[in-house]
Structure 1
């Protein structure tokens, strides 16, 4: 089809929209109607001064709005010439919006209140069960953190571990402020989504997903390695690791609540085991005295790396932060916590992490020969055998395998929460929202299991490579928390929260994490390559899902340029199929919940939708209780906004009733638009409701 034929078709379809070339009513200079003077007498327009520029511009806007179809529909005139020379580009331009008035009936309100109750009933995890979900990863990290720290910090390892575990005193208040302001699942991705653009949140989601996968794979592989260090296996170690991943994926299919109970059981057994070992170690130390400690001190100085004492302690600190892995998973399922327990959960994990890491290393130095410690294989089981005998060594090995398997559970549950949020935000297919009768998201669990296996296999089933990548990815994820806190203060400063952290603490947290990242890269620069490869791969996948409409349009443009393809057998319907695909992918509407008619604020909100959501339908929703409560210029400014975005149909929906969480949920049912695709401004301290009860995204100050 030629360009002229294409234009002719568009002119036929757009009979209600004049073209600049064929309709002189678009020309500002034209015969003027008779106007009335200030005295009320009609005068000849030729005797009056010409209208001002502002008046002329306003007249044109009114004329164009008057000519739009009252019933909606009809294409808007494009704001730019067509980039498609041979094919129609009508799919680029949307129809005119319409005004709708809605009164929510009793059934709608009942459904909305039911949604609110379901969301609140999901907050069932107490401080100990909530801590257990991440606790196995946090407190199980002692099994792989200690050998790594000794390799670089030598005899100064207890000092390095103490310094590393103490930095959580900086992160805890930052994480508490974020969780009290935005208690959504899938954090820190959801933090970034509500305080910045979708692009930034997308990068955060990619790093977070890689962190969850690394948590599961490293935990499973370390458990298998610990087992292989004690018994001779008839098959490769990676078989055990993959089996662990499969088994705990099946466990997660039983549901979150049952998984939390299992995690609490595993963590309780681990704490009992460590307490027994510490008591045995204290008794053994009291009997043997400090002789071996002094000997290890002297031996360690001969094995010391060729660096200063400060350099060794610093390197041990940079590696020792791995003893805190798992803390980043806690905010991922904060939406299931009982109200107000988040600070207690962090406290319940932090203090045991300090004691386990520091005391374990101290007892190793006092009771185990330094040559054995440097070997790095099952060092805690060696400590248990020295302290109490073979029976305790076997117990420690069993505990190591069990608690590290619990770390797999932590990664799976965090990934499921993230996948649910990504699906709600239209970044991954909606199948990830479907759940079994147990409430478990089967698609998310299976997909995450496959991703873990691919990640492990692509590393050559090497625990060393995965661990190196894990150390850097974890630090990057921890960087997202002070970043989110900084953006929260700047972009959403009015949002109510239970705690506000001084900016000095946020910047100090940045300084600590960047120092640790630099130190890890200096120790082993290869970790950058491993982490970057996986992050780029995940971001590419997310990018395709986020910009799928743009990709199809590029394909459509290539097809448009290849005129020979238009007449080849079997290719004539390609253009229609791609046009249909674009329309289908842009069919999901989104809502802007507005309370003002200020055109500048409305424009910036609509621009956010255009830049971050692939949709051709935007609904401006205003709740009002009395007719006088509707802003006077809302309808006029809505029409201007509808004209300003030719590619989006902008409807105005006036809903009678108070603006409450239950009514927003009811409107969600009425319009068939999930609340995650409803956007609102940041509420202030006098707002009578908790912003997160609405389940909407906050997109402006």
Structure 2
């Protein structure tokens, strides 16, 4: 158990130096010493680490070893009856120098090459993935808005879609600073704590599942409203989910091409519908619009504003899909993400506002309020049965494309959660040819089906839950940027958003969230159980060791469990599992020997990661590049954290993405579990190239 560094000779006895824990910089020669140290006599200064050789720590370790006590802990008794404090002791840290092999370099180079090859999506193809969810939402957003806003629906939808201008610069800055997978979960993870990141992961998973299920269920409902089918609509919903599960297994590039084709067909359909409806409106005149306006007037002005406000709150659902775009930003070619947002935003404004106006101009208000397939009714009124059939076909196709959006976005999230040891590593397995993460795909579809079944296959219930899930997910973006500006202000990025825009966006989120609850208070009742259930699941997978401690403590309190036939061996098995989980190491990449910074990084690991093994890594091409007190301070920190083994690793290489990836291969630790301080403008590489997590300013 004793892991004292054998390279350090025994401490010299009986001198004043033995009573010191040195705090002054080590003086390697007179040229390195400060003027104050050069001009003072040796007796005026505390001994340096070079002369003391960590005397206090080494003497303490030796004394405990002679007494048969190898732990760093105090004499406070263990909380367990049958488990001593020795279990808490992680072992003494070691100090090693590492030279990366040719095989390590090849592995690192291959990883960087693979990472760059994954950046394959141009702005049109990338627009197709989220575009089907965003532009396809007209089929379910318009009926919801007109039900609460009436003739003021075009105004409400215009305001709702224009509000997205607040989010665009926020998303652009976040992607510019952190072009990584799994956003906004990864944003929160890099700018705040892992606990808050789990909340964002919960919201994202619910949002992606709701996007897929609501899109599939709406397609089934739309079909059932147009034709007679021999089975219930929930069967169609399940068939759609299964079909797009198979499609998503073809890989992200092929899926993106399919999504882009579907989006192009939908845009063409909406343009044809708008043109034919405008021509028909010009023929019949404004009579129907005037009649609807008179019939739908509300008084006084406060009631009018209330109707518009309610319409804005529900109209935000017409923008569902925007929150999924940053989730795959790492796949988008550099500099194209703002174009993706532009490609999606302007059509959303045009289609939502103009189609709602045409519906009120050509259809009676009561027909609009009572009907669910209002766009197919508009198509038949303006162009005849042939156009209605076209709209129904388009609705089925584009809504099914929304299913694909949810699946692909969820796969990116699952990959990141698996890299962070929240989900098992099997979620990283891919098919040999298409490289599709089949475990993630099947797991997500299973979760979506469970969500659909638990709601009783009810589209209204899922839509209510979806409304709050979407809004809280959109709140994560301004919150992430606010934390980024405060906690990671040094992080380089090309785009900057003013502080006022961030605050206004947060205020808009709170206002619209409250408005959705006011329109239908039952939405919070449907949202809360799903949210708390998934959050509890993620918390349990993240805190496996803590849960096992509680289980062992309960087992330890009842002696009868130790003697029963089926439970007698539980204690040993629980302890073995805890030890195995604790031994999974993480890395902290350190630049200097400042002990306050090193302690903050270790405290972050202690709070956010379930591990007892920390590799403190410093890259230095030669001996002169090693900070003078790094070795000493690593010893002190190793002494200060008995439940964590601090191993100092000096890597004889330059610090760059390839050597970090090579080290990850050498230590068999994924780069997502390598932590570093926030880089400044002088670093020529991006965070995405390293694949590491930022944990301090």
Q: TM-score w.r.t. structure 1 length? A: 0.91
Task: Please point out which of 261, 277, 281 is paired with 2:273.
Answer: 277
Whether 1:539 and 2:544 are equivalent positions in the alignment is no
On the 8 A contact 1:16/1:68 being kept in 2, the answer is no
1:256-278 residue CA offsets vs partner (Å, 9 max, x unmatched) = 01100100110011011111111
Q: Which residue of the partner structure matches residue 4 of structure 1?
A: none
Q: Which residue of the partner structure matches residue 523 of structure 1?
A: 519
1:636-677 residue CA offsets vs partner (Å, 9 max, x unmatched) = 100111111111111000000110100000001111111001
Q: Which residue of the partner structure matches residue 24 of structure 1?
A: none
Whether 1:253 and 2:249 are equivalent positions in the alignment is yes
Q: Which residue of the partner structure matches residue 375 of structure 1?
A: 370
CA drift of 1:60 comes to 3.4
Q: Which residue of the partner structure matches residue 396 of structure 2?
A: 401
Whether 1:452 and 2:464 are equivalent positions in the alignment is no
Shift of the 251–35 alpha-carbon distance from structure 1 to 2, 3 Å rule, reads: closer
Task: Please point out which of 353, 356, 359 is paired with 1:358.
Answer: 353
Q: Which residue of the partner structure matches residue 426 of structure 1?
A: 421
Q: Which residue of the partner structure matches residue 39 of structure 2?
A: none
Q: Which residue of the partner structure matches residue 658 of structure 2?
A: 662
Instruction: Output the CA distance in 1 between the equivalents of 2:477 and 2:62.
Output: 50
Q: Which residue of the partner structure matches residue 327 of structure 1?
A: 322
Structure 2 counterpart SS, 1:125? coil
Q: Which residue of the partner structure matches residue 201 of structure 1?
A: 197
CA drift of 1:34 comes to 7.9
Q: Which residue of the partner structure matches residue 620 of structure 1?
A: 616
Q: Which residue of the partner structure matches residue 5 of structure 1?
A: none
Structure 2 counterpart SS, 1:698? strand
Shift of the 79–250 alpha-carbon distance from structure 1 to 2, 3 Å rule, reads: farther
Structure 1 range deviating more: 103-112 or 255-264: 103-112
Instruction: Output the CA distance in 2 between the equivalents of 1:586 and 1:62.
Output: 25
CA drift of 1:588 comes to 1.3
Superposition CA RMSD, Å: 2.4
1:11-46 residue CA offsets vs partner (Å, 9 max, x unmatched) = xx77999xxxxxxxxxxxxx965899xxxxxxxxxx
On the 8 A contact 1:680/1:700 being kept in 2, the answer is yes
CA drift of 1:585 comes to 1.3
Task: Please point out which of 273, 295, 300 is paired with 1:299.
Answer: 295
Whether 1:497 and 2:493 are equivalent positions in the alignment is yes
CA drift of 1:61 comes to 3.5
On the 8 A contact 2:2/2:92 being kept in 1, the answer is no
Shift of the 109–84 alpha-carbon distance from structure 1 to 2, 3 Å rule, reads: same
Structure 1 counterpart SS, 2:669? coil
Instruction: Output the CA distance in 2 between the equivalents of 1:561 and 1:463.
Output: 48
Shift of the 247–16 alpha-carbon distance from structure 1 to 2, 3 Å rule, reads: closer
Whether 1:642 and 2:638 are equivalent positions in the alignment is yes
On the 8 A contact 1:78/1:93 being kept in 2, the answer is no
CA drift of 1:581 comes to 0.6
On the 8 A contact 2:57/2:639 being kept in 1, the answer is no
On the 8 A contact 2:73/2:85 being kept in 1, the answer is no
Structure 1 range deviating more: 536-545 or 101-110: 101-110
1:313-343 residue CA offsets vs partner (Å, 9 max, x unmatched) = 1111111111110000000111100011000
Q: Which residue of the partner structure matches residue 676 of structure 1?
A: 672
Q: Which residue of the partner structure matches residue 41 of structure 1?
A: none
Task: Please point out which of 164, 168, 188 is paired with 1:168.
Answer: 164
Q: Which residue of the partner structure matches residue 159 of structure 1?
A: 155
On the 8 A contact 1:192/1:484 being kept in 2, the answer is yes
Task: Please point out which of 260, 272, 275 is paired with 1:264.
Answer: 260
On the 8 A contact 2:4/2:94 being kept in 1, the answer is no
On the 8 A contact 1:152/1:305 being kept in 2, the answer is no
Whether 1:574 and 2:595 are equivalent positions in the alignment is no
Instruction: Output the CA distance in 1 between the equivalents of 2:4 and 2:679.
Output: 41
Q: Which residue of the partner structure matches residue 219 of structure 2?
A: 223
Instruction: Output the CA distance in 2 between the equivalents of 1:15 and 1:280.
Output: 80
Q: Which residue of the partner structure matches residue 588 of structure 1?
A: 584
On the 8 A contact 2:215/2:399 being kept in 1, the answer is yes
Q: Which residue of the partner structure matches residue 410 of structure 1?
A: 405
Task: Please point out which of 484, 503, 506 is paired with 2:502.
Answer: 506
Instruction: Output the CA distance in 1 between the equivalents of 2:172 and 2:436.
Output: 27
On the 8 A contact 1:188/1:332 being kept in 2, the answer is yes
Whether 1:241 and 2:237 are equivalent positions in the alignment is yes
Task: Please point out which of 210, 234, 241 is paired with 1:214.
Answer: 210
Structure 1 counterpart SS, 2:121? coil
- Structure 2 segments unaligned to the other structure (5+ residues): 6-12, 19-42
Instruction: Output the CA distance in 2 between the equivalents of 1:502 and 1:33.
Output: 60
Q: Which residue of the partner structure matches residue 96 of structure 2?
A: 100
On the 8 A contact 1:65/1:639 being kept in 2, the answer is no
User: How many residues are paired up?
Assistant: 659
1:575-632 residue CA offsets vs partner (Å, 9 max, x unmatched) = 1111101011112110000011111111110011111111121000000012011111
Instruction: Output the CA distance in 1 between the equivalents of 2:4 and 2:590.
Output: 30
Structure 2 counterpart SS, 1:396? helix
CA drift of 1:106 comes to 2.4
Shift of the 199–562 alpha-carbon distance from structure 1 to 2, 3 Å rule, reads: same
On the 8 A contact 2:248/2:404 being kept in 1, the answer is yes
On the 8 A contact 1:148/1:376 being kept in 2, the answer is no
Instruction: Output the CA distance in 2 between the equivalents of 1:443 and 1:35.
Output: 60
Shift of the 14–436 alpha-carbon distance from structure 1 to 2, 3 Å rule, reads: closer
